[in-house]
Amino acid sequence: MARNTAAAVAWAAARIAREASDGVMVVLPADHHIPKPAGFVRTIRAAARAAADGEHLVLVGIEPTRPDTAYGYFRIGPSGPDGVASVRRFVEKPDPARARRYLRSGQYLWNAGMIVSTPQRILAETRAHAPEVWKTLGGVLEAIAGGRRVPHARLESAYRRVRGISFDHAVLERTRRVRALRGRFPWSDLGSWDALAEHLPLVGGNRVRGPQPAAVLDASDNVVWNTSGRALVLLGVHGLVVIETPDAVLVCAKDRVQDIRRIVDQLTKHGRKDLV
């Protein structure tokens, strides 16, 4: 059951608390690409040391390399000797002008969704700041964390009724117990077509996955993803995302890929769940 990340992270914390209440857990999104993991491992270990006392939630933020409008950001204060900094505020995906200011300032990191903490701290912060989650799920989570047996039907019932909200909105943006480390390792989020395109072969000035276009004339800076096997022709187009699958075709401007979720909402509203 998809109920966003607040319920999922809290449930994971309860399970881990049952097994290792004095341990440290790491929350990692699954759609990231980290080609050189050594720097990532060092940063996670440093974050685990910073979180081990159970006082804070420690985020790993990525140093921006470009004024990207597809990511959320957070602003940090000066770093201490251990490299850990306070988090002063979270900001949603900015417009291009703000993203350029954030990049120049050196005070903002991309919010990569990487959280390091003790499970008990995550449960405590969820209890204190996320009533929309705790009211429905809290009793079950406390029972699980305490090692008591919880019937599957009870967990399922509570999880089905809990409000879907992100851990960022429910907890991180409401608590003052957030700290951060700079992630200085190569990283990209594969959750959008423009991010994924960075890892596709460059063919004739276009990023291509699948069969090469049958013909290309005066066309460049396009992303082509073809899994249908049908022939594609590009003529006089630039900066497009062209997705060809056996059951649907998507064509959009590269600078509008973040709006695809609005199309998904529209398709769902009109009953076209076969396309989402």
Question: What residue spans define the domains of the chain?
Answer: 4-189, 193-275
Specify the fold of 4-189. Spore Coat Polysaccharide Biosynthesis Protein SpsA; Chain A (3.90.550)
Query: Tens digits of per-residue pLDDT, 16-30?
Result: 999 998 899 999 998
Rounded to two decimals, the pTM is: 0.83
Q: How many CB atoms are closer than 10 A to CB 1?
A: 9
Average model confidence (pLDDT) across the chain:
93
Q: Could you tell me the pLDDT band of residue 236, with boundaries at 50, 70 and 90?
A: very high
Q: Check residue 180 and give its pLDDT.
A: 98
Q: Are 54 and 118 in contact (CB under 8 A)?
A: yes
Of 148-157, 208-217, 219-228, 264-273, the least confident: 264-273
Q: Is the pLDDT of residue 216 over 80?
A: yes
Which of these, 219, 233, 267, lies nearest to 247 by C-alpha position? Answer: 267
Torsion of CA 9, 14, 18, 21, to 10 degrees: 70
Q: Are 171 and 130 in contact (CB under 8 A)?
A: yes
